[in-house]
Amino acid sequence: MKIIISPAKSLDFENKATTSLYTQPRFIEQSVKLNKKLKTISRKKLSELMKISNDLAVLNYDRNQSWQPDFNLDNAKQAVFAFTGEVFRGIDVNSLSEEKIPELQDKLRILSGLYGLLKPLDLIQPYRLEMGTKLKVGRKENLYKFWDTTLANSLNEELADDELLINLASSEYFKALPKKVLKVPMITPVFKDFKNGQYKTIMTFAKKARGLMVRYIIDHNIETLDDLKGFDIDGYGFSQEMSTETELVFTR
């Protein structure tokens, strides 16, 4: 079983990770190409391209200029410890026992606009580059064209023929994995809350639930679809009625 999630815009590079173990990103050559392009973009253009405030544009301009590919624990941090959005709050890696870190490293993959596909312990430097950003690199008109089939092929290599891919990524990031290229069975968990007389996906809650499911899979050594249906954290429960062959729906 492999799990894919999206990264987060919010980052923590102030606090050290609870482990000194680390790995290097697989697609660093592609990251160098992207950073070379980002380095040419002014603060003003960065603000327009990424639809961010002037202050954030200044911050990320400086990040782009200082980024360099020789990662170590002094200038970079393990990805799963660096990202701090709702999904990662759900994972809560800082409370994960050290014995469980290798399993997390084996099962979890983080999609990224700059780094492509990250293992949890891959070192990263601070950045902002969402997958949906319309960044033209050479003849590639956006990041989906830039990454093309690279990330899907990488997952195909990692997964055995009958091994499940659990899609906990957002639609923006999942688009970086062309369905026609993925050769493995895939399930997308969906989380819905009852509000105003109906079940609906509330994105803030859904993001947290995605992280909680990652943690559940690691804590309980989940390997099968039936085991995954047992997810019952934060009041969620599996709905057979609302689920399909490709979606597992959890409601509360």
**Nearest in space to 168 (alpha carbons), one of 116, 113, 215:** 215
Q: What pLDDT, in 10s, does the model give residues 75-102?
A: 999 999 999 999 999 999 999 999 999 9
pLDDT at 221 over 90: yes
Q: Please, is 218 exposed, middle or buried when counting C-beta atoms within 10 Å of its C-beta (0-12, 13-18, 19+)?
A: buried
The whole-number pLDDT of residue 103 equals 97
The whole-number pLDDT of residue 117 equals 99
pLDDT at 162 over 80: no
How many domains are there within the chain?
A: 1
What are the residues whose beta carbons fall under 8 Å from the beta carbon of 94, sequence distance 6 or more? Answer: 18, 81
Q: Taking a C-beta distance cutoff of 8 angstroms, is the pair 126, 11 a contact? A: yes
The whole-number pLDDT of residue 51 equals 97
Cβ–Cβ contacts within 10 Å for residue 107, how many? 18
Range of the domain at 233: 2-251
**In which band, very low, low, confident or very high, does the pLDDT at 160 lie, cut at 50, 70 and 90?**
confident
Q: What is the pTM of this model?
A: 0.97
92 backbone φψ class: left, alpha, beta (φ>0; ψ -120 to 50) = left
